Amino acid sequence: MLKELEYPFDSKYIIGKKVMLRKLLRGDGSKRIKKNIAILGGSTTNDIKLCIELFLLNQGIDPEFYESEYNQYYQDAMFPPEELVRFKPDVIYIFTTNRNITKYPQMTDTDDSVGRMIDAEYGKYKNIWENLSRTFHCPIIQNNFEMPVYRLLGNKDVEDYHGKRNFLQKLNSKFYEYAQTNSHFYICDLEFIAADYGLSEWHDLNYWYMYKYAMNLYAIPSLSFNIANIIKSIFGKNKKGYVLDLDNTLWGGVIGDDGVDNIEIGPEEAVGQAYLEFQQYLKEQTHLGIILNVDSKNDEENAIAGLNHPNGVLKPGDMIVIKANWEPKDRNLCSIADELTLLPESLVFVDDNPAERHIVTEQLPGVSAPEIGSVQNYIQILDHSGFFETTVISEDDTNRNRMYKENVQRAQQQAKFDDYNDYLLSLDMRGTIKSFENVLMSRIAQLTNKSNQFNLTTKRYTREEIEEVAANQDYIDLYGRLEDRFGDNGVVSVVIGKQIGNIVDIELWIMSCRVLKRNMEFAMMDELINQCTKRGILKVIGHYYPTAKNAMVKDFYSLHGFEKVDEDDTGNTKWEINVANYIPKNNVINVNGGNE
Amino acid sequence: MTRAEVFEKLNEVFREVFDDEDIVVSDATTANDIEAWDSLMHITLVSEVEDAFDIHFEMKDVTKMKNVGEMADKILEMM
């Protein structure tokens, strides 16, 4: 990962050095997932594309692009050329701006006629989205409209229906309504990005008149970074949580030296207020399923006392794992990741001390340790970094904190038993293993994109593809949900097998690491074989394709009684079992309310 | 700044933008002489030259410049 491409970045540097940066990233030998991205533009998009490429490469995605000819977004969307059809985009980005508005209200227009103009303009875009969606079944990202550079009516421009600002905001609201009811449709908030950059700077008209760029060349990295964040979020590359320092990060001062009574936190004075607002920001994020952990050089007693400070809003109970000791921080971060069964790189390290950040990023490549500046910058920098860019709000996200906490309780429960099977029985586990259901499609697609470790083939699916699998009789599709005495883990496993005659080929087998060693995979296999028997299937075939992350399932099929029938020189293995020879293995999870 | 100094600085900008240490620009250099110099990279190039010399070309001048020599003349005129 290149620090130069992490927020806060130097836009001038990126624009000037993009050729060099591209070579550097393309030549670094890292493994990335490939994605096809179509950009349908209403103005010049070349540098936007180049910068999206840099940011995605830095996030572990290797993009290939289709770029429409200048201002051909409408034609390409309504009458997709052969080249675009062959390209099979995984995501389509429609780059339109207020330069593409065909007709603005005139002073002679009435409220009604302006309403019709809005409907007409919106109708054009809706046709585009529906046609693309029908043709390509992939996520669509659409810009909203940025505000224009001038206000004909001055301050009245925003509230009067003749005003361009008023017009664009109404049109934007229509876009948002569409986004609320179409789950594969995402807004790129160009309006915010332009405002955040500074509207006058953004609209450096030289770039429009000379090159037909709808914004300043140097604003493009900010825009492209935002789009890359949406794309990496869609494909499951978001971070999962924070690892937080305490002294001068969550409060002002050093608690070991100053004492709990003297740390700065709370509304009474400026510095304390800044730390309080930062704590509030983190607390709000926990409601989105972002998890918090502590990694602090302190005695544990002091750390807990600081978190219990009456003026603070983050309490020890908001933290999943607290490591307050004198170990090196990178080692603590690793053990936090272990306890959470997460990879270290899915955590963001937040520490005011550049030396600690340096140690962590040196020892653990892939972990982000943003340069957060001083306390008044913390929120802005973490927020703009887009680590947790929200594209879907699922029930599982909002419950994630609770689930991680329950896992810690399970670990305590386990300590009470000598025999692991007795422990599993004591959990009183109930599983639901069924074919995909409508309300779960988003979560299932999300899981196929997020699971890296317990993933046999690392095949990724969009929501649309999941729906197609569910509708196709040739597939056996199963999701697994697991509950126990400590709570509901939600949907944690997905299996997709394709029937070819009397054989089933397992194309996808994933499980969330949240439920490792709970025998859920045995329950899933029992149910898969059960379904195979009902369909008269004689043989089941499985595959293991090694990646940098999925070594834990190398022997998965062997454990389930499969025989290895093939192995190529890249380590890909192929396995088989006769359905008649399968022996059910789950005896700890009560599945679908049966065999009590 | 002398014309030679302008050229030295221009050379630096060209090398950075095209990530090619072998580039040597002269009066007569045009987009035809540098493979990666297409109309799209031209946008970055002009913007980076403006930044390096802390100037802003007039639109009419950008469209008129025919080679690096004319660019250097314009820069000298504006400084």
Q: ∠A538-A541-A542 over CA atoms, to 5°?
A: 150
- From the candidates B10, B46, B47, which should be mutated to test the interface with A, based on the most A CB atoms within 10 A? B47
Contact residues, chain A, for B51 at CB < 8 Å: 12, 16
pLDDT tens series, chain A, 596 aa: 899 999 999 999 999 999 999 999 999 988 899 999 999 999 999 999 999 999 999 999 999 999 999 999 999 999 999 999 999 999 999 999 999 998 999 999 999 999 999 999 999 999 999 999 999 999 999 999 999 999 999 999 999 999 999 999 999 999 999 999 998 899 999 999 999 999 999 999 999 999 999 999 999 999 999 999 999 999 989 999 999 999 999 999 999 999 999 999 999 899 999 999 999 999 999 999 899 999 999 999 999 999 999 999 999 999 999 999 999 999 999 999 988 888 999 999 999 999 999 999 999 988 999 999 999 999 999 999 999 998 877 666 767 778 888 887 787 788 788 888 888 998 899 999 999 999 899 889 989 988 889 999 999 998 889 999 999 999 999 999 999 888 888 899 999 999 999 999 999 999 998 888 899 999 999 999 999 999 999 999 999 999 988 999 999 999 999 999 999 999 999 999 999 999 999 999 999 987 54
Contact residues, chain A, for B62 at CB < 8 Å: 210
* CATH code for the domain defined by B3-78: 1.10.1200.10
- The one-character DSSP state at A148 is P
- The one-character DSSP state at A144 is -
- From the candidates B16, B34, B43, which should be mutated to test the interface with A, based on the most A CB atoms within 10 A? B43
The C-alpha of B9 sits at a distance from chain A's nearest C-alpha, in angstroms, of 14
* DSSP SS3 for A506: strand
A13 to chain B, any CB pair closer than 8 A? The answer is no
Would you call B43 and A18 a contact, using CB atoms and an 8 Å cutoff?
Answer: no
Contact call for residues B11 and B25 (beta carbons, < 8 A): yes
Search chain B and give the residue with CA nearest A23.
B19
Distances (CA, A) of A494 to A57, A91, A160, A212, A582: 28, 23, 52, 47, 20
- The total number of residues written for chain A in this structure: 596
Distance CA A208, CA A185 (A): 28
Would you call A23 and B43 a contact, using CB atoms and an 8 Å cutoff?
Answer: no
Question: Fold for domain A3-234?
Answer: Rossmann fold (3.40.50)
Contact residues, chain B, for A206 at CB < 8 Å: 56, 59
* Least CB–CB distance from A17: residue in B16, B47, B56: B16
Search chain A and give the residue with CA nearest B12.
A16
- Position A328 scores a pLDDT of 94
CATH 3.40.50.620 for domain A241-385, yes or no, is no
Distance CA A87, CA A103 (A): 33
Task: Tell me what percent of chain B is helix, strand and coil, each rounded to the nearest 5.
Answer: 65, 0, 35
Question: Fold for domain A429-591?
Answer: Aminopeptidase (3.40.630)
Would you call B16 and A207 a contact, using CB atoms and an 8 Å cutoff?
Answer: no
- Position A549 scores a pLDDT of 86
A459 burial type by CB count under 10 A (0-12 exposed, 13-18 middle, 19+ buried): middle
Search chain B and give the residue with CA nearest A24.
B19
Would you call A16 and B62 a contact, using CB atoms and an 8 Å cutoff?
Answer: no
Would you call A47 and B43 a contact, using CB atoms and an 8 Å cutoff?
Answer: yes
- From the candidates A208, A217, A220, which should be mutated to test the interface with B, based on the most B CB atoms within 10 A? A217
* Least CB–CB distance from A12: residue in B18, B51, B63: B51
Q: Enumerate the H helices of A182-263 as residue ranges.
A: 190-197, 199-202, 205-211, 220-234, 255-258
Contact residues, chain A, for B48 at CB < 8 Å: 15-16
Would you call B47 and A217 a contact, using CB atoms and an 8 Å cutoff?
Answer: yes
pLDDT tens series, chain B, 79 aa: 899 999 999 999 999 999 999 999 999 999 999 988 988 899 999 999 999 999 999 988 888 888 999 999 999 999 8
Distance CA A68, CA A72 (A): 6
Contact call for residues A40 and A72 (beta carbons, < 8 A): yes
Would you call B62 and A210 a contact, using CB atoms and an 8 Å cutoff?
Answer: yes
Q: Could you state, in order of their start, the residue ranges of all structural domains in chain B?
A: 3-78
Distance CA A244, CA A150 (A): 44
Would you call A19 and B36 a contact, using CB atoms and an 8 Å cutoff?
Answer: yes
Domain with CATH 3.40.630.30 in chain A: 429-591
Query: What ipTM does the predicted assembly reach?
Result: 0.86
Contact call for residues A341 and A513 (beta carbons, < 8 A): yes
**Strand arrangement, sheet containing A475-484:** A563-567, A573-578, A539-544, A503-511, A487-500, A475-484, A429-434, A589-591
Beta strands A33-41 and A91-95 are parallel
Would you call A209 and B59 a contact, using CB atoms and an 8 Å cutoff?
Answer: yes
- Position B63 scores a pLDDT of 81
Distance CA A176, CA A383 (A): 21
A209 to chain B, any CB pair closer than 8 A? The answer is yes
**Which residues fall within 8 angstroms of residue A300, CB to CB, at 6 or more apart?**
A322, A324, A325
Contact call for residues A495 and A506 (beta carbons, < 8 A): yes
Tell me phi and psi for residue A463, to 5 degrees: -55, -40
- Position A595 scores a pLDDT of 52
Search chain A and give the residue with CA nearest B52.
A16
**The two three-digit tokens of residue A502, written as one number:** 């009397």
The C-alpha of B10 sits at a distance from chain A's nearest C-alpha, in angstroms, of 13
Distance CA A305, CA A259 (A): 9
* Least CB–CB distance from B16: residue in A16, A46, A206: A16
Number of Cβ pairs < 8 A linking chain A and chain B:
38
- Position A359 scores a pLDDT of 93
Distance CA A203, CA A66 (A): 26
Would you call B47 and A15 a contact, using CB atoms and an 8 Å cutoff?
Answer: yes
- Number of helices followed by number of strands (H, E) in chain A: 23, 17
Supply the pTM of this predicted model: 0.79
Search chain B and give the residue with CA nearest A45.
B40
Distance CA A411, CA A582 (A): 32
Distance CA B21, CA A87 (A): 35
Distance CA A489, CA A418 (A): 24
Domain with CATH 3.40.50.1110 in chain A: 3-234
* Least CB–CB distance from B19: residue in A15, A19, A46: A19
Name every residue in B having a CB less than 8 A away from some CB of A.
Answer: 16-19, 36, 40, 43-44, 47-48, 51, 56, 59, 62-63
Distances (CA, A) of B4 to A2, A124, B56, B74: 36, 55, 20, 14
Contact call for residues A64 and A118 (beta carbons, < 8 A): no
Helix A18-26 with A46-58: angle, nearest 10 deg: 40
